[in-house]
Structure 1
């Protein structure tokens, strides 16, 4: 659901949106007097059938009226399994079996929690919020549970990890890559490779994760100071980020070539 263009603006908007979402999830903003609380058995009646009182679904304990999207959620529709329940886990896993359509999100990764955040934002924008489900995420008083607080913490940590990843991607944009059955792999850099627009091209290098043997191709700036030094620092060697300790050259590729080949 997301991507990269103006990096600073994107990060600012993402963090601001996350702060709003976090406040809503934790109940810091009162949704108004008389907010409706559902028990799961009551919510199960809202599956959009002919005699049902409505068409609702819940995500992280928040209930939305999805009647305007009936063709997606009514009985027999592709996403009918989400109706009348909180199936938060399935929004990430895609497991639409009865065993997968559950609200238990324990064990999900930071990135998967961010996916849930994106879904919450989608429903907040497109459907009417009508109440909360008493159970895993909200108590009988309508206040958030410790489990919801843990979800919020995961989302916050995921946003920080995502922010760091985007910062790293701006520093070391991924290479363009193609493979041919006759020539093998080709890695090359351009001023837009990796989806990162910049005023330099860079050269391909293998970037290793610290403490592992895993690497991927990145484009490395070859002039100016390293990224962690000031532009006016007199103590650099005008080699950009080439001396970063986690970088390695591709065997057989000239050090300043913008394209490298790995033959079959």
Structure 2
């Protein structure tokens, strides 16, 4: 699997070659619903930060609004949670996109700056945005960080969507990797860890069991336990007629567990 840096460089190279950024992002699977022109945001309704701050749901307030990545939603139907005293009331009347991921609900954390969030964190934020799009009415756009005074996307929004695109790419690659190397089952009991493989380990159903191995990930120092096919051609060349009938056992990214029988479908970890 490509590391975050490699994926980011790959996407950056594509963006440099594509002058129509929004057309490119619209082609990324899973990202179309986030784009402002396809998510149902009313282009004619623009709110300033001061205007949005009045929509807190308290006495004299004209309503109950919040914003995520600059998109404003009417959440009055969820006033039990978002109204004054509600468990999510700190999200209302502002764009606190960063806090949805970090869990920092202080004034310093309830901000719209997402520039330092990782692709996986931005995917989590994207899930929140999708939730609001499906659950609440879109009101318009918040002028400032993500949209300019004419309602056009800013560079901050373009950068945020590009990171989400990287996250979606990594997620897709991890899904493909999991089909080749499904995660092991694992348990920890009385100070002893055990990993093992089955035809459904890691939630990946298949017609083979495999053996546990350490999969070292490019760009990272750690590893994860995966189940590896022991027969047939390697996954990289499934149609090959000339192979050692060892499946993926010879993949250079795999390492055996110390003191474990390399042909057993289970291993007691002593490391």
Q: Distance in 1 between matches of 2:92 and 2:56?
A: 5
Q: Which runs of 5+ in 2 are unaligned?
A: 1-27
1:50–1:92 Cα change, 3 Å = same
Partner residue, 1:19? 32
Matched, 1:201 2:209: yes
1:83–1:220 Cα change, 3 Å = same
| Large movers: runs of 4+ above 6 Å | none
Q: Aligned to 1:68, what secondary structure does the other structure show? A: helix
Matched, 1:143 2:156: no
Partner residue, 2:249? 242
Partner residue, 1:8? none
Q: Distance in 1 between matches of 2:100 and 2:61?
A: 24
What TM-score comes out, normalization by structure 2 length? 0.85
What TM-score comes out, normalization by structure 1 length? 0.87
Q: Distance in 2 between matches of 1:225 and 1:180?
A: 36
Q: Distance in 2 between matches of 1:188 and 1:89?
A: 38
Question: Structure 1 residue 252: deviation in Å?
Answer: 2.3
Question: Structure 1 residue 32: deviation in Å?
Answer: 5.4
Question: Structure 1 residue 94: deviation in Å?
Answer: 0.9
Question: Structure 1 residue 178: deviation in Å?
Answer: 1.4
Q: Per-residue displacement from partner, 1:209-236 (whole Å, max 9, x unpaired)?
A: 3466522211001111111113x31121
1:121–1:224 Cα change, 3 Å = same
Matched, 1:214 2:222: yes
- 1:261 alignment partner, one of 246, 251, 268: 268
Q: Which runs of 5+ in 1 are unaligned?
A: 1-14
Q: Distance in 1 between matches of 2:95 and 2:129?
A: 12
8 Å Cα contact 2:41/2:138 also seen in 1: no
How well do the aligned residues superpose, as a CA RMSD in angstroms?
1.8
Q: Distance in 2 between matches of 1:247 and 1:16?
A: 30
Q: Per-residue displacement from partner, 1:5-26 (whole Å, max 9, x unpaired)?
A: xxxxxxxxxx64422323x2xx
Partner residue, 2:67? 58
Question: Structure 1 residue 42: deviation in Å?
Answer: 0.7
Aligned residues: 244
